[in-house]
Chain A
Amino acid sequence: MTMNKQGRPTAPGTVEDNELPTISGDRGLDHEEGLIFELGRAGMTGVDVPEVQMSETRLGGRRRKGPIGLPGLSEPEVVRHYVRLSRMNYAIDSGLYPLGSCTMKHNPRLNEKMARLPGFGDIHPLQPQQTVQGAFALISELMRWLTTLTGMPAVAMSPKAGAHGELCGLLAIRAAIEARGEKRPRILVPESAHGTNPATAAFAGFTVDEVPATKSGHVDADALEAKLGPDVCAIMLTNPNTCGLFEPRIIEMADAVHRAGAYFYCDGANFNAIAGRVRPGDLGIDAMHINLHKTFSTPHGGGGPGAGPVVLSERLAPYAPLPLLMHDGNEFRMIEHADEASGGAKPFGRMCAFHGQMGMFTRALAYMLSHGRDGVRQASEDAVLSANYVLASLKDVMSAPFGEGPCMHEALFDDSFLEGTGVTTLDFAKAMIDEGYHPMTMYFPLVVHGAMLIEPTESESKESLDRFIHVLRTMALEAKDKRTARFEGAPRLSPRRRLDETAAARNPILRWRPKDDARQAAE
């Protein structure tokens, strides 16, 4: 036998010591990255700007005296820094992201392209209105989609996020009540509500009264009715609710609320379960915000920006905030001041500067046009189907507090299946990270102990769901079997392990400081 080359090992072998520290501190594709302030140097810049002669006579004596303290970096350094940071993030583009009540669905890239057309991205909110008729047409078209899908006559476009939309809705309700010469200080909020609901009600100057949930996870309609009275301004209710269930008695509740002279605010965070199948207007709702970043898939962007248009009933429409988009038969006009409004409009005020989140409107309309009404309906159905599939596939090994009936777009589990195992909801969720999944929403809604809320959305294939189910089933069985190794101290394989949140809160370090400063501060 003749060998013309020397052989070499081609299998990874059994290297025991995977933990051998590297010289660089980096590990393969995982780079450690300092703060931008620790990287730069004085005098460098990544943007070429001509140096100009400048007189100081027009600065009113207010020229900056000392340096700001920003680092200087070239373009390649900045690009590398942020690319490295990006690689420490989980994203819907890289894996299933089952965060209940957050709706992490696919973000089509066409929408990004459309938002960047100069005719949308490079126009100024205060340039002459005759030069932005196409932008008004886009907003108008989006308004048509939103009002048609919800069966509501009007929509306020300026709120910048869901919570801002809630505030807008409550202020419209407040204005309507005041116009009747009444004062109604109380707002009813189910105990299962998103935290924003009571926060918004308090922010708008109302007192909050909680409505309990029934054993089946619904709002207790009888308790609600008992709490109604002449001092109740509105109820804020999420439907489908935060337990992932449709409120079967919603029309009955709406009637009771209206009989008591109050208004029905719906948190539209979960509209993505019913869009194209159910119109909130048919349920007796007076106001509802729509999170464009959930139902209509504008990207979450690591926590924003969002957009929260609010659809309004006939009775609330006159109180919609400025600005108001009108069409006079010839062209569009944006009404920016109350006394220019016609047709009985009595706007309660202004929510923010300019006209709202145009960049999100463009993306949402691209989503709607792509889906069409049939696609919107299919998205809702697939989201509900997928959640029920997950529920049906896991409820024998995990515990589903309301698992006897179908759910909507979210499958809710509690921690009773972990009882006696020593594994908590947090451990279970963190162990998912090592399996390559983002955890589900934990400890919310509050009405369920150790809640785990899974929202798979319509964006997952059956193969992807099956794999996810397999992993969760195996984890649940291992936990019940007291094989808890993978839960203890999880995650182990992520860019960081569990972080010390107690230390962060006891001694807040909220910014970088130069070393000299830090020493001084310590002294």
Chain B
Amino acid sequence: MRYHPLTTTDRAAMLGKIGARDIDALFRDVPKSAVVPLSAFDLPDTKGEIEVERIMSRMASRNASAGSVPFFCGAGAYRHHVPSAVDHLIQRSEFLTSYTPYQPEIAQGTLQYLFEFQTQVALLTGMEVANASLYDGSTATAEAVLMAQRLTRRPKAILSGGLHPHYAETVETVAALSGKVVRAPVTPGSAEDIAAMIDGETACVVVQSPDVFGLIRDIETVAAAAHAKGALLIAVVTEAMSFGLLESPGAQGADIVAAEGQSIGNGLNFGGPYVGLFATREKFIRQMPGRLTGETVDADGRRGFVLTLSTREQHIRRDKATSNICTNSGLCCLAFTIHLSLLGEEGLTRMARFNHARASALAERLGAVRGVSLVTESFFNEFTVRLSKPAASVVDALAERGIIGGVPASRLMPHEKSARDLLIVAATETNTDEDCEAFAKALAEVLA
């Protein structure tokens, strides 16, 4: 086996030093009834690289990859072009094969990029501080709700109907254990009257913008209504590229921002791993979940970075920790940080404008197809159209024509009758004019 350096001779010598008869002697504490032979495992034996590549490539070839077809899916995961330098750099051994930076003297590389990441996230979201990331946007949203419950000592979370349903379900899984979760009605293309739902036991209101249908929401008004009743406003963003063009949640009065950072630096990867962005106000840092990197100096007075405020975390606080999370999304943060460093202010702004222009053009083109009407008047790079046929069957028919034409809203909310004919469509810098034209043409055929 190519990954195992010990030889038979080595093993015998090592057993000799240990004073063990054979390897079984080292497993002597395992109850006899639990000892099984290799044949108990109905699995194949070792294989060389060539065979493994052959097997896995065959599996991969059965999937329609986004780059091989005109492709318009979004709804929480977006296809952007990731510069080659990003993947090259994150595969450097020193980043890829290091552990959590618990020994800061020999982990300054990781600690410094996490500090840069925290700063970037704070700047993008318009918040004072950010942590070193959580698993993804959905779990970051759930953590934000729990944090709001701790801060306000109130039980109830109100979720906007425009919050991605997977996010809402993730919040329900954990926040309903000790509190209450209320979901506002789904109102595609418009904002629900969420302010009217806020009461004295409301810990937080969770609003996503752009929402799951792509609609840009007014967070400012909802934040003011929440604050008037002593509740917090949690802003959720699933398309991080939108930070380049839209007003930040912080500027609109958000208390906590939970976002999905996948769009910057990270591929689609069939849903994971992604990177959860989490930012808040400085006064709330002791109730924040997840790792934090802070600046300090070393024994020689040189600037350096360490993990800090660890007493919030599970390895010290155990059952009184703010969260049970141990990891962050290390390598995905790094990809985010490198991509954003490459883009810079200028590149991000241009990229965001380009995305918006591309989506606007596609919305116009699709809107001109008979049987299609635009539902979301304002949007960033994703919008929703109402079709004259159920969207799920339209998407299947488009797939037969070699086009992945967006996400039918019914896939996310099968019980929402009003969503049956809605199609959620995203366009990014990766879509060409030809893609858009092919999409419009095929859609016209399918709806005819």
Contact = CB atoms under 8 A, between A and B. Distances in A.
A and B in direct contact, judged by CB atoms within 8 A: yes
B324 A196 contact: yes
Interface string B92-134: 1111111111011111111011011011101110001110110
A313 to B, nearest CB: 15
B448 interface: no
B271 A250 contact: no
Interface in A263-292: 274, 276-279, 282-283
A173 interface: no
A30 to B, nearest CB: 11
A91 B271 contact: no
B109 A86 contact: yes
A180 interface: no
B351 interface: yes
Given A70-B344, A118-B67, A300-B99, A498 B44 contact: no
Given A36-B341, A119-B63, A433-B105, A166 B324 contact: yes
A254 B316 CA distance: 28
A89 interface: yes
Interface residues of B, number: 208
Nearest to A380: B27
Given A120-B63, A125-B268, A370-B47, A495 B164 contact: no
B3 A301 contact: no
Determine which residue in A50, A149, A393, A499 has the highest number of CB atoms from chain B within 10 A of its CB, and name it.
A499
A375 B46 contact: yes
B304 A499 contact: yes
Contacts of B325: 161, 163-164
Given A82-B338, A114-B56, A505-B308, A42 B73 contact: no
Given A78-B342, A205-B177, A301 B96 contact: yes
Contacts, number: 691
A369 B354 contact: no
B151 interface: no
Nearest to B352: A64
Contacts of B66: 118, 122-124, 127
A279 B68 CA distance: 42
Contact of A503 (B108, B129, B297): B297
Contact of A353 (B93, B133, B164, B326): B164
Given A123-B65, A371-B46, A375-B4, A350 B169 contact: yes
A302 B98 contact: yes
A346 interface: no
Interface stretch (A10-18, A103-111, A414-422, A474-482): A103-111
A229 to B, nearest CB: 19
B331 A137 contact: no
A288 to B, nearest CB: 14
A107 B314 contact: no
Contact of A133 (B63, B83, B272, B351): B63
Given A304-B328, A382-B4, A130 B268 contact: no
Given A49-B354, A353-B167, A382-B6, A283 B34 contact: yes
B116 A35 contact: yes
Interface stretch (B8-16, B153-161, B192-200, B225-233): B8-16
B315 interface: yes
Interface residues of A, number: 203
A26 B370 CA distance: 66
B56 A362 contact: yes
A303 B404 contact: no
Contact of A63 (B65, B108, B246, B299): B246
Interface stretch (A1-9, A219-227, A454-462): A454-462
A87 interface: yes
Given A93-B93, A377-B38, A458 B4 contact: yes
Interface string B143-155: 0000000000000
Interface string A330-370: 00000011001000000011111111111110100110111
Nearest to B41: A373
B105 A491 contact: yes
A117 B342 contact: no
B350 interface: yes
A114 B59 CA distance: 11
B52 interface: yes
B429 A49 contact: yes
B330 A45 contact: no
Contacts of B334: 82, 301-302
B447 interface: no
12 contacts: A42-B345, A58-B378, A59-B380, A117-B60, A132-B64, A135-B59, A195-B317, A303-B132, A358-B271, A462-B5, A504-B308, A508-B294
Given A386-B14, A499-B105, A504-B296, 19 more contacts: A45-B343, A89-B94, A116-B87, A124-B77, A134-B58, A198-B318, A336-B411, A352-B135, A374-B45, A382-B6, A389-B17, A438-B99, A438-B103, A439-B103, A460-B5, A462-B7, A489-B299, A497-B105, A503-B297
